[in-house]
Chain A
Amino acid sequence: MTPILETKNLCKYYGSGENLVKAVDHIDLQIAQGEYVAIVGKSGSGKSTLLHLLGALDNPTSGEIWVDGKNIAALTGEELTALRRRKIGFIFQAFNLIPSLNVWENIVLPIGLDGKRADEEFVRDILRTLDLEERTNALPNTLSGGQQQRTAIARAIAAKPSIILADEPTGNLDTKNGDEVISLLKLSAKKYGQTLVVITHNEDIAQMADRTIMLEDGRLI
């Protein structure tokens, strides 16, 4: 299978000498299009660093990252921004919604930033799937944690990215809401043909993935 996301000998080190921390240490990873991969590891194992590198949010110390056949090191700043906006959707543990914008505005904001018009029909469809239709005009602080995370999911999906990167998406949710969020991500990814990479320390959640990758001290095990 052609990988949509690939790392070659990827390293990310912090500090130097005795304080050298190998957050990501020679990782070779291939993720196929449409795959749902869970990256599991304890805190400090380098999961978040790896995800940030995959999403071009951080620069590697050495090694290469290929997204959709492009080596992202070769891209200009402008192309990199376009790649992050169009190809990749992010979901974070802390939701990262903008408090002064309502649900709808939060969802279409990244599309607007990209200078495009939101596909209204598509966004409505997502809202229906995520049961947010009635909260379209609500502000984030009036929503429950589950609803906020569903809004963040809607935002990640709305730009129709090829890849969704989720960093502990259920970290702030109880078991039931967390399970539901993961099922939703899986359902949406399947519905819209997206690749899903979820990092978590929760093995219960990793069960639902097509493939689980274990990370320890920055290395795959």
Chain B
Amino acid sequence: MQKSNVDIRSLQIGFGGLKVLENLNLNVEASEFLVLLGPSGCGKSTLLNAIAGLIDVRGGEIHIGGRDVTWAEPKDRGIAMVFQSYALYPRMSVRRNMSFGLSVAGTPRDEIERRVGEAARMLQLNSLLDRRPSELSGGQRQRVAIGRALVRHAGVYLFDEPLSNLDAQLRAELRVEIKRLHARLGATMIYVTHDQIEALTLADRIAVMQGGVIQQLDTPKKIYREPVNRFVASFVGSPAMNFIPGRIARDGETGFIAGANRLGLNGYAFRGLPTDAPAVLGIRPEHIELTASDDPSAVSARVEMVEPMGADTLIWCRLADNTAFSFRHDADAQVCVGDTLNVRFPAEALSLFDEISGQRL
């Protein structure tokens, strides 16, 4: 099975007067698992459909496995695709669903049999081969759809929100299955989702998209720890990152002023030279630490609400100037509503954003 890279060069896509993608560049390496993440309408599915050849492009080029396939038919691109609605052929058995593409392509019968058998074994579909799609559960249907993609031995596998129609538990199960599949096949996979957990768990790299533009393309860790702008910071992570408005002050040691509090920024890696300017401080709930009241960097906050989440507890607090934030603590925290806590915002875990442009400072 060959593994193709995908190279997208200044791609333009539009419908009528609407520009969906403009001058988009993206390079997916062979064997990479790339996730396109973004809210609905950000152009991620459009991009995937363009790679598949299911919509026409206005400009730019798409190369798969070193071949220019910008104007090639979907079947000639060396791709396979899994859809959100499964898109199984309702009048065919599971076996026929999986073998349809191969028989259309005129693959010899024993080769079809071998490949279907192989995919069925991999996805535990052996006992379901003679059923109709209507006789399967949602999870089974999506496994069949993945099997139908696998038998094509494609260079690139495209997934269009494959788990969005499933309930939470099945989604988690199938997510692991897809990850295992990628580890086993080492195939190139491009995966569209709006679920940031799926993106973080599956991806080698994530491309976070908004408004038809890739905001950030990086490893899940980098995306999570060092979001390049406020959009990425707020879209990735659950519970969401806290944002505290204030300003950067350079009176001697650089610090962040939020109301009556001053946070030291010693240890924060600024991208450029910090200037005195309004800014927004972002910090993830799990990076806020409890500390003693005599800690010079301590900030006192009043507990407003406690949300036990099983493994840990989310504590909602308010600062003296009424700024709200949440932080994560062990499940056995003895915290009650109305308590006053002393917390610390470690500078190395912070993200600072320009107030106007939203870009990381």
Q: Specify whether A and B are partners.
A: no
